[in-house]
């Protein structure tokens, strides 16, 4: 087990509001915007009402009371299986959760800020699925401008090359808030450097397909909006390219953003396990 990942069972969980699929992996990606305890509770309640949220990748989860409240609320709303890494020095972290199936912690091999990159194996029906959640650091304060972001991206790029050994012979989803946009993004944003676009390209080089682009090659969609109102597609989901034909749905839901649950859209990914 990854030393930075702890499987938590803090409360007796409620019955899930939806029956988890035994034939499809249904993943919800949700940036929590370091929610307070009260907002974390509302987030968990909203998530539990989504039928596509069997597996969760929750990013920008705080290390304080809000993050603890989120884990407790997930249990309360029917997510008994939670992997919540312990973040060093109060950093943000990524949390994985499951509605029904147990999560077997795995080590994705991300050697820098591993609490931002938890991984697990979920057995759905008779098929194993690998899940890696990512929360790439933002550009950072002036005194450390881009240092953590660049180092974390380099660590993820290296780890991607070895995920086939961590998750042998199974489809894998790598998803989260990457804090980058794709090359050719509309509208264009000059703030991103060549090294950030190279990080996006590193997924294809390692054998992973952008699930949203696979289904929607020409769509213009955004998951976060800046103060100027310009949109950014910062949240992404990738699957192993060999399993890309199994992708059935991938979309953004703006409801959490427009209702002030968070400042990001949620993202959903569904792929079949029966083919």
State the DSSP string of 122-171.
EEETTEEEEEEEEE---S--GGGTTHHHHHHHHHHHHHHTTHHHHSTTS-
List of domains in the chain: 7-272 (3.60.10.10)
CA distance 159 to 153: 10
Q: With 0-12 CB in 10 A as exposed, 13-18 as middle and 19+ as buried, what is 144?
A: exposed
In the predicted model, residues of the chain with pLDDT beneath 70 are: 1-14, 140-143, 145, 275
Confidence (pLDDT) at 93: 97
Tell whether pTM > 0.85. yes
CA distance 239 to 92: 24
Other Cβ atoms closer than 10 A to 23: 12
CA distance 252 to 28: 10
Instruction: Determine the Cα angle at 207 with ends 206 and 208, to 5°.
Output: 105
Starting from the edge strand earliest in sequence, which strands make up the sheet with 172-177, in order?
103-106, 119-124, 127-135, 172-177, 235-240, 208-210
Backbone angle region of 145, left / alpha / beta, with phi > 0 → left and psi within -120 to 50 → alpha: beta
- Compute φ and ψ for 43, nearest 5 degrees: -60, -45
CA distance 244 to 271: 8
CA distance 108 to 93: 15
- Residue carrying the six token digits 């999560």: 103
Confidence (pLDDT) at 7: 41
């Amino acid at each position: 087990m990854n030393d930075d990942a702890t499987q938590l069972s803090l409360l007796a969980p409620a019955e899930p509001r939806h029956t988890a699929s035994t034939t499809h992996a249904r993943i919800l990606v949700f940036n929590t915007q370091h929610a307070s305890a009260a907002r974390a509770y509302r987030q968990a309640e909203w998530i539990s009402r989504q039928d596509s949220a069997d597996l969760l990748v929750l990013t920008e989860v705080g290390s304080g009371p809000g993050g603890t409240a989120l884990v407790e609320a997930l249990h309360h709303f029917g997510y008994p299986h939670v992997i919540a890494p312990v973040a060093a020095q109060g950093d943000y972290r990524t949390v994985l959760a499951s509605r029904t199936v147990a999560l077997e912690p795995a080590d994705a091999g991300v050697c820098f800020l591993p609490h931002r990159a938890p991984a697990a194996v979920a057995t759905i029906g008779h098929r194993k699925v690998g899940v890696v959640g990512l929360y790439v650091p933002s550009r950072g304060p002036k005194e450390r401008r881009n240092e953590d972001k660049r180092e974390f991206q380099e660590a993820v790029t290296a780890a991607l090359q070895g995920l086939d050994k961590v998750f042998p012979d199974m489809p894998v989803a790598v998803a989260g808030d990457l804090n980058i946009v794709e090359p050719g993004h509309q509208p264009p944003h000059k703030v991103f450097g060549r090294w950030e676009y190279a990080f996006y390209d590193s997924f294809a080089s390692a054998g992973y397909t952008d699930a949203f682009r696979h289904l929607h090659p020409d769509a213009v969609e955004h998951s976060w909006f800046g103060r100027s109102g310009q949109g950014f597609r910062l949240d992404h989901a990738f699957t192993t390219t060999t399993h890309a034909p199994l992708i059935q749905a991938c979309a953004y839901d703006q409801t959490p953003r427009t209702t002030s649950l968070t400042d990001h859209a949620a993202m959903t990914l569904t792929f079949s396990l029966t083919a």
